[in-house]
Amino acid sequence: FESRVPGIEEAAGAFLLEGDPFICRPYGSGHINTTFRVSCRLGDGSHRHYILQQMNKNVFTKPDQLMENVVGVTTFLRKKIIEQGGDPDRETLNIIKTKAGKNYFVDSLDGYWRVYQFIEDAFSYDLVEKPDDFYQSALAFGNFQHLLADYPAATLHETIEGFHDTAARFEAFKKAAAADVMGRAAGVQEEIRFVMENEIYTHVLGDLLAKKELPLRVTHNDTKLNNVMIDKATGKGLCVIDLDTVMPGLSVNDFGDSIRFGASTALEDEQDLSKVSCSMELFEVYTKGFMEGCHGSLTEKETEMLPMGALVMTLECGMRFLADYLSGDTYFKIHREKHNLDRARTQFKLVSDMKEKWETMKEIVAKCR
């Protein structure tokens, strides 16, 4: 054990690991949980690896519900993958139970721990290096949607309430602007006006869900690149990991969030707005991969609403950044003055750009059908 994380030895000893654990090291570049790789020596001298994770209880205040979601989804995925002739040990996360038969372990300091089988011969990218990386990620998240298309999404816990309730986020934004606790509203009238002028987009998806024109789906809610494992041998997307934010939601939100950060030509906090646009090349790459991965499991309406998902998620994110700026930067960590304002501005620039490119986005979706 190289790490001094309290409770780790107790935790490692609590799970049904094959062989003798002999090394446990911090692993990966996750920001939310604390992740370790445990190596065990088997009788024949070979090694078996596991991922041991301490869950972040500050972020996830309902770890029990969270784990119920993860268990539900991974059990379902495993069955599906077996039915389809895939490799259930590499194409989904697999939970290792504790010696007491539980799906997670609570140590004596009230730390929550879980163990996954280690997915061998795979890696994840932290940054898009080439368009194919983005395409592989799209395929994997599309396939995730496809495999879970008949999962009873309503049975999942909403572990973070109202996570993508854009209308509620809009109300919260208005409150923050009205309260103006830092006296910053006067300086950002243009940005506030931008949000107000785009109000209709904050309830369009919620309304379609309420009218049942869009189905409730299992959503991942953290569709970034390094949450997909890539097969070392083939370079292809193998497995979607990091299921902490799996919740009932809209497929177009998962799609839209990927476009929001993945198809932007600049960083989220770029100050030179002339550099910020939504790349139609990358939009096409992701749309193609996502729709291929979905294998026809999206409804007509969901497909039609993909560009809307991108616009709404980007607007929502911009609203959240601006609301946080107005409230004194209490949620998103800042590294410079007006950091959240800069972030809000890039998102609003993207929204405007998407509106200009609306017809192109629709044509791309039609072409990928």
Q: Rule CB under 6 A: which residues touch ligand ATP?
A: 27-28, 30-33, 35, 51, 93, 116, 118-119, 124, 222, 226-227, 241-242, 244
Nearest distance in Å: CB 91, ligand ATP: 11
Q: Which CB atom, from 165 or from 244, has the smaller least distance to ligand ATP?
A: 244
E strand or H helix at 54, and its extent? strand 47-54
**Which one, 244 or 284, has the nearer CB to Mg ion?**
244
The values of phi and psi at residue 228, to 5°, are -120, 130
Q: Residue 332, Cβ neighbours under 10 Å: how many?
A: 12
89: Cβ contacts below 8 Å, ≥ 6 apart: 117, 119
- Least distance from C-beta 116 to ligand ATP, angstroms? 4
Binding to Mg ion by residue 191, rule CB under 5 A?
Answer: no
Instruction: Tell me how far apart the alpha carbons of residues 261 and 127 are, in angstroms, rounded to a whole number.
Output: 11
**Binding residue for Mg ion, selected from 23, 32, 96, 128, defined by CB under 5 A:** 32
Contact 162, 209 (CB under 8 A): no
Among ligand ATP, Mg ion, none, the one that 51 touches (CB under a kind-dependent 5 to 8 A) is: ligand ATP
Which residues have a Cβ under 8 Å from the Cβ of 119 and sit 6 or more positions away? Answer: 89, 90, 93, 229, 238, 239, 241
* Structure-token match 């895939």, residue found: 86
Count CB neighbours of 123 within 10 A.
Answer: 13
Do 250 and 301 form a contact (C-beta atoms < 8 A)?
no
Cβ proximity to Mg ion: between 134 and 283 the closer is 134
Nearest approach in angstroms of CB 241 to ligand ATP is: 5
Q: How far is the CB of 222 from ligand ATP (least distance, A)?
A: 6
Residue 119 touches which member of Mg ion, ligand ATP, none, C-beta under 5-8 Å by kind: ligand ATP
- End-to-end alpha-carbon separation of the chain, Å? 51
For residue 195, which of 350, 322, 325, 357 has the smallest C-alpha distance?
322
Q: For residues 31 and 212, which CB has a smaller minimum distance to ligand ATP in the complex?
A: 31
3-state secondary structure of 224: coil
Give me Rg for the CA atoms of the chain. 21
CB nearer to ligand ATP: pick between 35 and 299: 35
Considering only CA atoms, which of 104, 102, 79 is closest in space to residue 92? Answer: 79
Is the Cβ–Cβ distance between 73 and 147 less than 8 Å?
no
Of 15-23, 32-40, 206-214, 321-329, which part binds Mg ion (CB under 5 A)? 32-40
Between 241 and 323, name the residue whose CB sits nearer to ligand ATP: 241
Min dist. Cβ of residue 54 to ligand ATP (A): 10
Closer to Mg ion by Cβ: residue 31 or 335: 31
**Residue 146 to residue 290: CA distance in whole angstroms:** 10
**Smallest distance from ligand ATP to CB 138, Å:** 17
As measured in angstroms, the least distance from the Cβ of 23 to ligand ATP is 15
Q: List the single partner that 116 binds among Mg ion, ligand ATP, none, CB under 5 to 8 Å by kind.
A: ligand ATP
> Does residue 30 bind Mg ion (CB under 5 A)?
yes
For Mg ion, the closer of residues 91 and 242 by Cβ is 242
Output the smallest distance, CB 32 to Mg ion, in A: 4
Q: Which residue among 165, 191, 231, 242 contacts Mg ion (CB under 5 A)? A: 242
What token pair was written down for 176? 């923050």
Angle at 236 between CA 141 and CA 294, to 5 degrees: 30
Half-sphere exposure of 295 (CA within 13 A, CB side): 8
Query: Does residue 227 belong to the site contacting Mg ion (CB under 5 A)?
Result: yes
Q: Name which of Mg ion, ligand ATP, none residue 290 binds, using a CB cut-off of 5 to 8 Å depending on partner kind.
A: none
Give the total of residues touching Mg ion (CB under 5 A): 5
Question: In the complex, which residues of this chain contact Mg ion (CB under 5 A)?
Answer: 30, 32, 227, 242, 244
